[in-house]
Structures are given as structure tokens and as C-alpha cells.
Amino acid sequence: MATSAHHLSDHDPSSVPDGAGFRLALLVSEWNREVTQALCTGALETLRKYGVREEDLFLQWVPGSFELALAAKQLVSTKGLDGALCLGSIVRGETPHFDYVCQATALGIMNAGLDLGRPIIFGVLTDDTMEQARDRSGGKHGNKGIDCAVALLKMVKLQAEIRG
């Protein structure tokens, strides 16, 4: 849980599996690009740090967070990838639009993973302010892109073990 006194990106490096041999997609929303670029940078650095080769990473920018699920599903299925990480930033505005986009994005990403039987990680910040989004994309609360990249590696490794 993110709080004002909690750093999000603390993880035990020894618990992160080797990513060599996994083929992964990274899908990033263009909306709130200042935030999503920082999330993307953190995720890419983490995936490379843990052994994912450049030729096994498929980076795709999409217009907004709402479009992440469809793009992830299409990219993972057509390229035969092991999993995907969806990164976005939705900041509350003055209308209920925030609630609709957050709900649809979360359900879409979950359904994409369930439909494909592959890990599709939800790395979409849903914040009340841009300050909160900045704090969670490389600011005082760490970088959620790092956490989600670690989650992706753990899930693709788990799935590989389950499948034998």
C-alpha cells in the first residue's frame, strides 16, 4: 500500500528470477507522458538488469490507458510472447470520466491476461493529483514501473514452472 511514509520500489533482488529467455511486451500509454516515460524507463532498466535481452523486449506506445488491454492482447498473441506489462497514468479530473477509465482499464487488462492465459501486469497509476503520479513514477515513493517489471518476471517464471 502506498502511503506518505512508504517507498514502493523496495524488493529483494535475490527473489527476482532471471529473465533470460523470456519474450515480453511493454505497453505504455502516451497520455501523461511525463509520468509514463518515467515508469517505462524504470521497467526497462529492471527487465534488462534481470537478464531480459533487448531482442526479447517489445515496446509499444498506445494513445491512452484505455487502449492498453487490446494492444497487449494483440501483441502477446501475435508474437507468441510470455507476458506483458501495461503502464499508464490516470489522474482524477473534474468529471466521472476518471472512474470509468480506471474501471475499464483494470478489467480490460485482467481479462486480456485471463483470455490469453499469460501474465498481463496492471501497471497503471490511478492518482488524485499529478503530484501523486510523479511521486510514484520515480519520486519519493519510488517507481511503480520497477515493481511491476519485477512482478512480470515472477509471474512468467511461475507460469513456466507450472507448465513444466
pTM: 0.94
Q: Tell me whether residue 13 is in a domain.
A: no
How far apart, in whole angstroms, are the C-alpha atoms of residue 87 and residue 38? Answer: 10
Cβ-contact 27, 124 below 8 angstroms: no
Which pLDDT does position 111 carry in this prediction? 98
The pLDDT averaged over each successive group of 10 residues in the chain (164 residues) is 62 92 98 98 98 98 98 98 98 93 98 98 98 96 97 98 92
Q: Which of 6, 11, 97, 141 is catalytic?
A: 97
Structurally, the chain folds into a number of domains equal to 1
Which pLDDT does position 164 carry in this prediction? 87
Q: Tell me whether residue 119 is in a domain.
A: yes
Domain hosting 124: range is 78-84+105-130+139-151
Q: Tell me whether residue 8 is in a domain.
A: no
Residue 50 C-alpha cell reads as 534481470
Please count the other Cβ atoms lying within 10 Å of the Cβ belonging to residue 51: 15
Q: Is 97 a catalytic residue?
A: yes
Which pLDDT does position 137 carry in this prediction? 96
Which pLDDT does position 1 carry in this prediction? 47
Which pLDDT does position 8 carry in this prediction? 65
Q: Tell me whether residue 10 is in a domain.
A: no
Q: Tell me whether residue 114 is in a domain.
A: yes
What are the strands of the beta sheet with 120-127, ordered from one edge? 57-62, 24-29, 83-91, 120-127
